[in-house]
Amino acid sequence: MSRKQQLLKRHRRNKRVGVLIGLALLVVIGVWVAWWLPLVLGALAWVAHEAWFADHLFYAPGEDYRYRFAADAEVAGVRLDAGLLRVDQPLDSAATLVLAVRVKSTWLGRFFDPVVAILGGESPDRQAFERGVSGVRYLNLSGLASVIAAGELRVRGRFCAVQGVPRLWAWDNPDYAAQRVMVIAPHADDAELAAFGLYSQAHTPWIVTLTAGEIEAEHYQHMGLAPAEAARLKGRLRAWDSIAVPRWAGVPEAQCVQLGYFCLQLPAMRATPDQPVASREAELGDVRLFRQFNAFPLPADRDGSPTWNNLLADLRQLLLTARPEVIVLPHPVLDPHPDHICAQQAVMEALAGLEWQPTSVLGYANHLHDNDRWPMGDSGTGIALPPQFDDTLELHPCSLPLSLAQQRDKAMALGMMHDLQPAAPLKRRVRRWLQRILAGRSRSPYGENEFFRKAVRRHELFWRL
């Protein structure tokens, strides 16, 4: 069981215990006070839970985030003067900039998301944190070097205070978009969520999707299809998405590849590399159904067998064909999804001993272990660094700024993805309505799915590996 699954299991167990205790208290109140009072209190408790306590947050908001960065990346002579950021040395305009500050929530910040407003220049930003936050947090100031140099950048808390002595780090990164870029997507939409801005600007982009993403096809069962038929239809649609949607960004069709392996089966494939692992729901043991849109043959097309060895052979051929200088794939530590972990491992195994090697490998995290809401805040705002509590690993962030036009194009690409189109369950829609009314959370203007809020931002955040 992964750490993410363990945290979720513990969260659900604690919630069940809390519900049982609450029900017992309501029974006592109903017996000794008034029979109708538990009904009112129960309804109010449910509303409060949905509005303020429904986030999956598996750590205390009072904990400091803990990062370790290279010592030579830290900028000297940094201070906050009445909220105005002062830096004594020049900064590269294209550098990734991260500012560590202590954020202390006010009492209102326990009911509304605390936000640090980043003011100055033509494009002010705001970056949100956990309700009740009280600790060190890391603001993303990438793209604001000129504002800092002009002495115009100001940070101001809303529902929180910005305290302590700030620390600033700067990393000069090469122009990845000027190189040959290959984005590895475990599922259709992962490339768009993580790297649409990067690959849409890349000189020579390739998109390689490993699985068809055919499971959890209840939406298609409602059309009258049997479960296996629904899974196959969903897989075919997502296979089409993985080839067609990158065309919106100008990626040639011949450079979009769908490998068609089965969703959530990569760990089982890796455990027995030469044994085929069939789909969980589609009643399929052949990957070729989901490869029909590829522009050229791959090694596994010979037998269609869903094995780890076939996956490695496919990846080796693609790496030698594309010869990417930059590979973008899931981060092996930050992203806990089992298919994402295996996608990274498969690429690393395929590269071992290969005659072509990339000059850069960038990691992304479309999921987190401890916070399902990250990136917090609204569409169009900046991406602060995610929760991190283990500073044994030295990390190197790379932040790519996106213009408003690029954000809109990214939102339209996500809107074409079939997996993001079905309406959310009624309970989730009610929860979001309560959070808008009572907690002041805005909905994304681009779509109902939560990924429109999380992914359409003014930054795309990667990590050099």
pLDDT tens for 261-270 read 999 999 999 9
How far apart are alpha carbons 334 and 67 in whole angstroms?
Answer: 12
Lowest mean pLDDT across 2-6, 12-16, 25-29, 300-304 = 2-6
pLDDT tens for 13-68 read 766 666 667 666 756 666 676 766 777 777 888 888 899 988 888 889 999 999 99
Produce one character per residue of 244-278: b if its CB has 16 or more CB atoms within 10 Å, e if not. ebbeebebeeebbbbbbbbbbbbebbbeeeeebbe
State the burial class of residue 321 (Cβ atoms within 10 Å of its Cβ: 0-12, 13-18, 19+): middle
State the burial class of residue 29 (Cβ atoms within 10 Å of its Cβ: 0-12, 13-18, 19+): middle
The reply to whether 178-464 shares the fold of 71-171 is no
pLDDT at 369: 87
Judge whether residue 252 has pLDDT over 70. Answer: yes
Looking at the DSSP bridge assignments, the partners of residue 135 are 103
How far apart are alpha carbons 255 and 322 in whole angstroms?
Answer: 8
The CATH homologous superfamily for domain 178-464 is LmbE-like (3.40.50.10320)
How far apart are alpha carbons 429 and 299 in whole angstroms?
Answer: 45
pLDDT at 328: 98
Mean pLDDT along residues 232-252: 98
Give the residue extent of every domain in the chain. 3-52, 71-171, 178-464
- Enter the CATH code of domain 71-171: 2.60.120
